Structure 1
Amino acid sequence: MQDIVCKYHNDFNKIKLPNFTELEQNLLFTLITRIRTSKPEYWNDPHTFYFGFGDISEMFSKEYRHNHNEIEHICASLKHKFFKADFTILCRETLKINNQEKEVLAERTINLFTEFALLYVPENLYDSGNKKEFYGISLTINPRFEYLINQLINNFTRFELAEFIALSGKYTKTLYRQLKQFRQTGSRIFKWDEFLEIMDIPDSYRQIDIDQQILKPALRELTAERNLFDTKRIPFKDLKYTKLDKNQQPNPRGRNKVCFIKFEWEKEKVQEELEAESRERIAENLKNHIPTSDDYNAKQEFENYKGVEVSFYDSNNRLRIAEIKDFDNETNQLLCYDKKVNQNFYIPFENLQKANTWIAEKLKGIY
């Protein structure tokens, strides 16, 4: 199963997503991932992307996959809510008034998408009021925001899409996005009012409500171990939070007004550290492993599988079709090719024998 990584510029986190449900957040970030890996094909517009019903259906779990009405409803809700979401930017501009130039600071509010169309197949093309069957959606990215998704410079957020979708609760997902961009620092402090706004917490919630209904459930989710792609993961190890007063000192039991909230966790290792550890682990495995006849037989069997196509369901219950390319004996990963997205991906296994068994099962139709 491909480990799909969703990347987007950190400025995206400043966009307010009002009252987005779990399903709507899942769909939105899956669309962002697809936009990054797709080429515009709709009306020859370089900023417009088309997703048919089948494409959207695959983004949902099985209970929604073939339900036109439910998927249409979610897309319509996403369209309605996203055009309520805005992004405010400050930029210096020069105005020319009466032949005089004036430096000003412009506060502009812009939408990420300029168009979000729901597409239908009508019974009669000439009857504009006759909608028959939901066909898909088209999205046009605002050129001013293209850098958020497509121009990923040094300042970007990275998270595994499957990990994000596996999380339960809209507050948990929002907190996950906000903390992931600080994954290598191990902490983040929010102003309390800013935190309430970002999380879209109702004004009626008391401190105890926020603790019991939002923060504690979110921490349970974000510190739980999950098995994704045959690998055990914890989104944020040892994650905890502390409410702080105006001096950024701990505020036990709310004796003073809460002015800040601080989250702390075990920081993620940078890529260089991970690669160094991986090289050491591979070297150790090669040094300690003595080839056997089973290894030889496994290699012979695998030669028969190269170039064949297998079908399987990933962790999102989405059907994938992949061509078997090769097996990396150093990292124990199966190299596959997905024709639909024109992209290679790896599936980790304990060893080549396990990979052969998995391929054989898929060829027999065992999902």
Structure 2
Amino acid sequence: MGKEIIKYHNDMNKVSFAGFKEKELDLFFSICQKMKDKGTNEIVFSFSDLRKLSQYSNRSIERFYSDLDRVYKKMLELNLKYEDEKEIRRFVLFSRYIIKKDEQIIIIKASEDFEYILNKLIGTFTKFDLVDFVSLKSVYSKNMFKLLKQWESKKNVKYEVQILREILGVPSKYTTSNFNDRVLKPIMDELPKYFNDLCLEKLKTGKKVTHLKFTWSSRKEEIKEVEKIEVEISEKLDKVIKKGIKNRFLAKLLTVNNIEKLLKIFEENDLIKGLLWAYKEVRQDISTLEYLIKTIKTGIEKKEKKIIVKPTEKIENIFDKTFEE
């Protein structure tokens, strides 16, 4: 099987998949992979495609029905939450989930609240190969795998022990010894294959281990390549950026790095408006990103003026009346 890249908003990594078994996680993320960039459109999966993608080996069709149903039941129990400065919102993942046994298909539709997790991703996303994910055997390895992938560019991350236990879905009854043997051991057995030189450091506060720090390094073949930064944008913004580059005073500042920074500051529609204004108005060198940000803000705040032309027929009527008199 070739690469099957899955990409989702980092908010998904805040969700605990406690109670999900290994194959249920494979099915869930296989569904997410197929729904990437499909918006809230209704999507139809064939059983055969889903089984292949998730490497579902059990041949019993009744078992497959049961696992699909159990995955949805557990999805309904997931605690998904969105929060900004204005509101806190909790929501379900899918507004429709139908298993058609006779046609051997599954029909799924993402809820409007969940749409941002899988669509129009810019900057803050986690990306990995689903093939690697489903090949992992431990449920804790699978969950840790996606958490580490969020920090692939930095190659280090530190977690408070209690928070990590909650995210990984570790039973509260697990002692420190259980946690080391049943959770950390399989993680450190399986994940070094995907994270070069993976190390786990236990950090103490006094005599108690309170934090776990994971570090890893680039593989030799990765070091030879210039690091590539991916920033996904809409076609509309892409056209505006290309137009802006034609202004020689803006061109040197419209780099991938700077576009990523601008998207963290401005909503896309505001950025489009501000860049269009800058393209028309800037006629001198802009040397810093800070100056460009001020220029974009000025463009956003400018109110659009329109000249309304009166219909020519009314003007002609006036002339007609003048000549008649």
Which range, TM-score by smaller chain? 0.5 to 0.7
Q: CA deviation at 1:273?
A: 5.7
Is residue 87 of structure 2 the alignment partner of residue 140 of structure 1?
Answer: no
Equivalenced residues, count = 228
- Report what 2:3 is aligned to: 3
The verdict on how the C-alpha distance between 1:135 and 1:62 changes in structure 2, with shifts beyond 3 A counting, is: closer
- Report what 2:65 is aligned to: 72
SS at match of 1:79: helix
Cα separation, 1, equivalents of 2:20 and 2:227: 40
- Report what 1:47 is aligned to: 41
- Report what 2:83 is aligned to: 90
Is residue 98 of structure 2 the alignment partner of residue 117 of structure 1?
Answer: yes
The verdict on how the C-alpha distance between 1:108 and 1:213 changes in structure 2, with shifts beyond 3 A counting, is: same
The verdict on how the C-alpha distance between 1:276 and 1:139 changes in structure 2, with shifts beyond 3 A counting, is: closer
- Report what 2:297 is aligned to: none
Q: CA deviation at 1:266?
A: 1.2
- Report what 1:107 is aligned to: 88
Per-residue displacement from partner, 1:122-158 (whole Å, max 9, x unpaired)?
xxxxxxxxxxxx7332222111221211212111111
Alignment of 1:170-181 (within 5 A): 170-181=139-150
Contact persistence 2:55–2:134 (CA under 8 A): no
Amino acid at match of 1:111: V
| Partner residue of 1:263 out of 214, 220, 227 | 214
Is residue 74 of structure 2 the alignment partner of residue 81 of structure 1?
Answer: yes
Is residue 109 of structure 2 the alignment partner of residue 150 of structure 1?
Answer: no
- Report what 1:243 is aligned to: 202
| Partner residue of 1:193 out of 147, 158, 162 | 162
SS at match of 1:196: helix
Is residue 133 of structure 2 the alignment partner of residue 160 of structure 1?
Answer: no
Cα separation, 2, equivalents of 1:112 and 1:118: 16
Identity among equivalent positions (%) equals 26
Amino acid at match of 1:26: D
Cα separation, 1, equivalents of 2:226 and 2:216: 22
Q: CA deviation at 1:177?
A: 0.5
Cα separation, 2, equivalents of 1:270 and 1:107: 44
Bigger Rg over Cα: 2
SS at match of 1:144: coil
Gaps of 5+ in 1: 41-45, 94-105, 122-133, 224-233, 247-254, 278-367
The verdict on how the C-alpha distance between 1:33 and 1:270 changes in structure 2, with shifts beyond 3 A counting, is: farther
Amino acid at match of 2:11: D
The verdict on how the C-alpha distance between 1:273 and 1:86 changes in structure 2, with shifts beyond 3 A counting, is: farther
Amino acid at match of 1:11: D
Greater percentage in strand: 1
Contact persistence 2:140–2:186 (CA under 8 A): no
Q: CA deviation at 1:162?
A: 0.9
Amino acid at match of 2:90: T
Is residue 225 of structure 2 the alignment partner of residue 274 of structure 1?
Answer: yes
Cα separation, 2, equivalents of 1:160 and 1:21: 19
Q: Normalised by the size of structure 2, how large is the TM-score?
A: 0.64
Contact persistence 1:16–1:85 (CA under 8 A): yes
SS at match of 2:24: helix
Per-residue displacement from partner, 1:20-52 (whole Å, max 9, x unpaired)?
111111111111111127x68xxxxx4321213
Q: CA deviation at 1:267?
A: 4.3
Amino acid at match of 2:51: S
Contact persistence 2:15–2:79 (CA under 8 A): yes
Cα separation, 2, equivalents of 1:62 and 1:183: 28
Cα separation, 2, equivalents of 1:193 and 1:62: 33
Q: Normalised by the size of structure 1, how large is the TM-score?
A: 0.57
Contact persistence 2:54–2:134 (CA under 8 A): no
Q: CA deviation at 1:67?
A: 2.4
The verdict on how the C-alpha distance between 1:60 and 1:10 changes in structure 2, with shifts beyond 3 A counting, is: closer
Cα separation, 2, equivalents of 1:276 and 1:222: 22
Q: CA deviation at 1:271?
A: 8.1
Cα separation, 2, equivalents of 1:107 and 1:270: 44
Q: CA deviation at 1:115?
A: 2.7
SS at match of 2:207: coil
